[in-house]
């Protein structure tokens, strides 16, 4: 598993570490209207999956805004932001911040995504910061587990990976 710290303290990640070349694991999360969303719902598209501990924190806010801005430059790409924030909080945050190009999804109910992608922080019941790119054939083509959960991901590398995915 990836070695992750949260505020410089080591944490335990639960689930399965995902690697480039893997078939993307399926998951079930909740949209802002409480409907279920799975990986299969965006089948045939490239998916940029941005994982954040909580959308109401500075780095998570910046990460979601950055990928919201980048999403306007992509064709046939679905940009998903996953956290354990409640769907109601995600909806409120998106509305207050004009976020329209990213779909925020809640893994609060059963940590399906967190376990499938190895980002469930056992000690905090949060998700570790990570970015995954999944191509239209459901193959993982890019993975970044951010080693310090309070740091930013490599935005440029993620955007390049989306451009290279088909």
Can 60 be counted among the known catalytic residues?
yes
* pLDDT greater than 80 at residue 1: no
Set 4, 51, 60, 99: catalytic member: 60
Q: Mean pLDDT over all residues of the chain?
A: 96
DSSP, collapsed to helix, strand or coil, labels residue 85 as coil
Q: 68 and 79 in contact (C-beta within 8 Å)?
A: yes
Q: At 78, phi and psi to the nearest 5?
A: -105, 125
Tokens in use for 28? 């079930």
* pLDDT greater than 90 at residue 112: yes
pLDDT category at 6 given cuts 50, 70, 90 is very high
Residue 81 DSSP symbol: E
pLDDT in tens, 52-73: 999 999 999 999 999 999 999 9
* pLDDT greater than 80 at residue 141: yes
d(C-alpha 166, C-alpha 162), whole Å: 8
Can you state the angle between helices 155-164 and 58-71, rounded to 10 degrees?
30
d(C-alpha 57, C-alpha 2), whole Å: 23
pLDDT category at 138 given cuts 50, 70, 90 is very high
Q: What pLDDT score was predicted for residue 2?
A: 81
Q: 79 and 121 in contact (C-beta within 8 Å)?
A: no
Q: What is the mean pLDDT of residues 117-146?
A: 97
DSSP, collapsed to helix, strand or coil, labels residue 49 as strand
pLDDT in tens, 10-45: 999 999 999 999 999 999 999 999 999 999 999 999
């Amino acid at each position: 598993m990836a070695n992750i710290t949260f505020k410089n303290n080591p944490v335990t990640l639960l689930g399965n570490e995902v690697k480039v070349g893997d078939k993307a694991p399926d998951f079930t999360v909740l949209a802002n209207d409480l409907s279920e969303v799975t990986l299969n719902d965006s089948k045939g598209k490239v998916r940029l999956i941005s994982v954040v501990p909580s959308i109401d924190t500075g780095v998570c806010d910046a990460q979601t805004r950055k990928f919201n801005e980048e999403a306007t430059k992509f064709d046939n790409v679905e940009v998903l932001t996953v956290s354990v924030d409640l769907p109601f909080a995600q909806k409120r945050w998106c509305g207050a911040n004009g976020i329209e190009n990213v779909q925020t999804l809640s893994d609060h109910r059963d940590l399906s995504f967190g376990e499938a992608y190895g980002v469930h922080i056992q000690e905090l019941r949060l998700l570790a910061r990570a970015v995954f790119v999944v191509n239209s054939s459901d193959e993982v083509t890019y993975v970044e587990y951010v080693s310090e959960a309070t740091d930013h991901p490599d935005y440029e590398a993620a955007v390049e990976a989306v451009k290279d995915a088909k």
